[in-house]
């Protein structure tokens, strides 16, 4: 009963490096979301997906790209990491667009030096 699994859990990058964060859910959810959580700012939506093969921009999409090639996976990419992208990243999924609770992973703590 894994739910939403995020990998890796921790990562340190140097400015300019690239990396991909993986989110996997085993609940057959249609909707998936990537958020970042920063002190004093709450969770902010980066990108989201309403189904396999579809993605859309959220509140803070600049500097990030996403892909949803398989229904169960949602990837978040940083092409050229910047110190401003130091944050805790959370993935979430839900069965439908509304009326259903979001299920969250445990987060990825990312530090950009």
Partner 1 sequence: KQEVTQIPAALSVPEGENLVLNCSFTDSAIYNLQWFRQDPGKGLTSLLLIQSSQREQTSGRLNASLDKSSGRSTLYIAASQPGDSATYLCAGGDGTSGTYKYIFGTGTRLKVLA
Which helix (H) or strand (E) covers residue 108, if one does? strand 108-112
Helix (H, G, I), strand (E, B) or coil at 86: coil
CA–CA dist 9, 89 (Å, integer):
9
The distance of closest approach from Cβ of residue 86 to partner 1 in the complex, given in angstroms and rounded to an integer, is: 16
The CA-CA-CA angle for residues 101, 32, 104, to 5°, reads 50
Rule CB under 8 A: say whether 106 interacts with partner 1.
yes
How many residues form the binding site for partner 1 (CB under 8 A)? Answer: 27
Rule CB under 8 A: say whether 92 interacts with partner 1.
yes
Is there a contact between 86 and 37 (Cβ–Cβ < 8 Å)?
no
Torsion over CA: 88, 89, 95, 96 (sign): positive
Instruction: State which residue, 49 or 85, has the beta carbon closest to partner 1.
Output: 49
Binding partner 1 (rule: CB under 8 A), the pick from 76, 81, 90, 110 is 90
Within 38-57, which residues bind partner 1 (CB under 8 A)?
40-45, 48, 50, 56
The distance of closest approach from Cβ of residue 61 to partner 1 in the complex, given in angstroms and rounded to an integer, is: 13
For binding to partner 1 (CB under 8 A), which residues are involved? 4, 31, 33, 35, 40-45, 48, 50, 56, 58, 90, 92, 97-107
């Amino acid at each position: 009963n894994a739910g939403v699994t995020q990998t890796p859990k921790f990562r340190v990058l140097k400015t300019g490096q690239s990396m991909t964060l993986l989110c996997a859910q085993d609940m057959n959810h249609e909707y998936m979301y990537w958020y970042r959580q920063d002190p004093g700012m709450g969770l902010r939506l980066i990108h989201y997906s309403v189904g396999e093969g579809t993605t859309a921009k959220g509140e803070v999409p600049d500097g990030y790209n996403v892909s949803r090639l398989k229904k169960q996976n949602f990837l978040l990419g940083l092409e050229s990491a910047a110190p401003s992208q130091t944050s805790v990243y959370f993935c979430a999924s839900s069965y439908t667009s509304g009326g259903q609770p979001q299920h969250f992973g445990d987060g990825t703590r990312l530090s950009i030096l």
